[in-house]
Chain A
Amino acid sequence: KQEVTQIPAALSVPEGENLVLNCSFTDSAIYNLQWFRQDPGKGLTSLLLIQSSQREQTSGRLNASLDKSSGRSTLYIAASQPGDSATYLCAVTGGATNKLIFGTGTLLAVQP
């Protein structure tokens, strides 16, 4: 059974810092991995999608990497801003279905 873990569970940084969020998964036979952002009481916003054949994806200040063999992904946020404060979730898709298995989440607070 696929299990997805995120470290740290919570992170507080001053504005302007670069930071890394970690995601690990137990079954490397994934189809893709996604990073999402969730604001309090809201739905999910997809940030980056990495196919299993890819090593990384970039969007603006965000860069996500994938090391499928070791079961790890990182989300790098450059020059963090208070508006980046949210919960960040990673999720993997694997097997014959399109089910998403979500990680435990990292609650990020960027202090002005």
Chain B
Amino acid sequence: GAVVSQHPSWVICKSGTSVKIECRSLDFQATTMFWYRQFPKQSLMLMATSNEGSKATYEQGVEKDKFLINHASLTLSTLTVTSAHPEDSSFYICSADKPADTQYFGPGTRLTVL
């Protein structure tokens, strides 16, 4: 197996502020990481693919200027929700692609925007 962590596990913020979520692969290097969003009682929806050293690839309908992704090292990707609004409240989950293996998922971050 492999371990992926996320920080914070939960965050509450005021509308209009920005929130940064970190995703770390603790025991392997990941060239590619993925960010998902999950609304209550719904499945996971892929938001973007984060590639180390290059720009992220966003899925259709996901605003890249609102959800900023930075994959600055082989063990860290960050997702920044800029000017958050209540409709951005969701469960955000990242995964890291372990080479010659599979994706390993983080524990998720619960974002609540007031």
Of chain B, the residue at the smallest CB distance from A89 is B43
CA distance A82 to B107 in the complex (A): 22
Count the A residues whose beta carbon is within 8 Å of the partner chain — how many? 21
A44 proximal to B (CB < 8 A): yes
- Tell me whether A44 and B34 are in contact (CB under 8 A): no
- Tell me whether B108 and A98 are in contact (CB under 8 A): no
Nearest CB of A to B42, in Å: 8
B residues neighboring A (CB under 8 Å): 6, 32, 34, 36, 42-46, 49, 91, 93, 95, 97, 102-108, 110
- Tell me whether B102 and A99 are in contact (CB under 8 A): no
Nearest CB of B to A27, in Å: 16
Residues in B whose Cβ lies below 8 Å from that of A97 = 49
Residues in A whose Cβ lies below 8 Å from that of B105 = 36, 43-46
Residues in A whose Cβ lies below 8 Å from that of B93 = 43-44
Residues in A whose Cβ lies below 8 Å from that of B36 = 102
Q: Main SS of the interface on chain A?
A: strand
Residues in B whose Cβ lies below 8 Å from that of A44 = 44, 93, 95, 105
| Cβ contact of A98, chosen from B44, B45, B91, B103, cutoff 8 A | B103
| Cβ contact of B44, chosen from A32, A45, A49, A89, cutoff 8 A | A89
Nearest CB of B to A4, in Å: 8
Residues in B whose Cβ lies below 8 Å from that of A32 = 102
- Tell me whether A105 and B108 are in contact (CB under 8 A): no
| Cβ contact of B102, chosen from A43, A46, A89, A101, cutoff 8 A | A46
- Tell me whether A100 and B34 are in contact (CB under 8 A): yes
